[in-house]
Amino acid sequence: MTAQARVRVLTGITTSGTPHLGNYVGAIRPAIAASRDPGVESFYFLADYHALIKVQEPARVQRSTLEIAASWLACGLDPDKVWFYRQSDVPEIPELTWLLACVAGKGILNRAHAYKAAVDRNREAGEDEDAGVTAGLYMYPVLMAADILLFNAHKVPVGRDQVQHIEMARDFGQRFNHLYGEHFVLPEAAIEEHVATLPGLDGRKMSKSYDNVIPLFAPREQLRKLIFGIVTDSRAPGEPKDTEGSALFQLYQAFASAEETAAMRRAYAEGIAWSEVKARLFERIDREIAPMRERYEALIAQPAQIEAILREGARRVRERYATPLLARLREAVGLRDLSHAPAARDGKKEKPSAPAIKQYREADGRFYFKLVQGERVLLQSVGFDSPREAGQLIARLKREAAQLRHEAGAGLRLGEALLGELAADAALDEVAQALARLAEAE
């Protein structure tokens, strides 16, 4: 397997409802398609700590977590190819939340949309500003920043309403880096501009808050009933119909091919009856959903299997990312093993350790180098016949850090040249970052 430095893309799904067709078209389907890109390392997690902010019914949180996990798996998410886990199975997330809370500006949290909206509502109602506002709602952006920064995600696909949260994650990450050294990648929002929003049963945007949704895995007969209940205008069969503003047409388009859509457009012009549109729409949606519905029902019937998948996902992602990073962060902030030498007493600030390349000769007569950062060795080279050979490779390494590849069993390579090995606790892009800092410093 090749582990190139891939772009890390991370998304959380709040477990506070039942997935509907709008979620499928707008989020699940495109995310699963994106997760198949070999240049991307995807993280999908169930944000159940976030759910507790709005839902205080335990059974609903549990049910929603099960349904959302089963839906993503049924729609084709492959837990062997992406990181798929449940937020509350990763204790490093709340731990990091606290570390970030201690650098996050309270004034910034005051400006968070969700909190501000609650305060505004209270003001209008003549209530105390913070009436009914929990510290959980207030801290929501810090928890979300921890979700993202813990995995050093590069990109976070979100709707416009979430962009502010990504900005805050960058801000908290930057403050932390400034105080304690470069630990975090600053994430970017990947704003989903052309994600289809689906109309619901009443023609408004399909949304739980409008109570107009079609559940993604409604049984076939219920799906038919719901589709036949979608509002239309009063044009009779035979009368030409407008595709513009037609909820049925928009829904059809979200599932149909370009040819099918063109055929439906012609049928509208020729006066197709609304009942016929509904019949075709139902069959078209059901054709796409039916195989997934079958998988969904099989999964839901075996919740222990889903539980095992989620736990295994959390175990692996903790081992690979969360646990080692948190160990470094604890060290960085001073939550340290007391038996080691205490830091300087004169109050001088410790500098975050700069990366360096050390060249040396071993007893075997060959020439080696290693990339170190503070006490840590990130990369250990193989032996070279001459110092010149080693030096040339180091120079190339600084210029071409992005080309670095790591193949299990075959070592770290730059093009065809074998460099050496990655340290067990180091990630490839940590190495790339350290090399970039080295190149900058020159």
Contact residues: ligand TRP, CB under 6 A: 10-12, 14, 47, 50, 144, 147-148, 156, 158, 162
CA angle 120, 164, 8 (to 5 degrees): 150
Distance of alpha carbon 401 from alpha carbon 5, whole angstroms: 10
Nearer CB in complex with ligand TRP: 113/399: 113
CB of 280 to ligand TRP, least distance (A): 33
Nearer CB in complex with ligand TRP: 148/198: 148
Nearer CB in complex with ligand TRP: 190/273: 190
Nearer CB in complex with ligand TRP: 47/230: 47
The encoded tokens of residue 206 equal 């399909």
Q: Which residues pair with 167 in a beta bridge?
A: none
Distance of alpha carbon 332 from alpha carbon 97, whole angstroms: 15
State the DSSP string of 187-228.
Answer: PEEEE-SSPPPPB-TTSSBP-GGGT---BTT--HHHHHHHHH
Nearer CB in complex with ligand TRP: 189/419: 189
Distance of alpha carbon 310 from alpha carbon 288, whole angstroms: 26
Nearer CB in complex with ligand TRP: 55/356: 55
CB of 187 to ligand TRP, least distance (A): 8
Distance of alpha carbon 215 from alpha carbon 219, whole angstroms: 9
CB of 162 to ligand TRP, least distance (A): 6
Residue 297's identity, in one-letter code, is E
End-to-end CA distance of the chain: 34
Q: Quick count: other Cβ atoms within 10 Å of Cβ 408?
A: 9
Give the nearest residue (CB) to ligand TRP: 12
Nearer CB in complex with ligand TRP: 208/405: 208
CB of 25 to ligand TRP, least distance (A): 16
Which runs of consecutive H residues, i.e. helices, occur in 127-246? 135-149, 163-180, 220-228
CA angle 168, 174, 175 (to 5 degrees): 95
CB of 140 to ligand TRP, least distance (A): 7
CB of 230 to ligand TRP, least distance (A): 26
Distance of alpha carbon 25 from alpha carbon 108, whole angstroms: 33
CA angle 142, 55, 199 (to 5 degrees): 95
Confirm if 335 and 102 have CB atoms less than 8 A apart.
no
Residues with Cβ within 8 Å of 411's Cβ and at least 6 positions away in sequence, in order, are 382, 418, 419, 420, 421
CB of 380 to ligand TRP, least distance (A): 35
Nearer CB in complex with ligand TRP: 159/391: 159
CA angle 213, 217, 220 (to 5 degrees): 100
CB of 311 to ligand TRP, least distance (A): 19
Q: Which helix H or strand E contains 411, and what residues bound it?
A: strand 411-414
CB of 264 to ligand TRP, least distance (A): 32
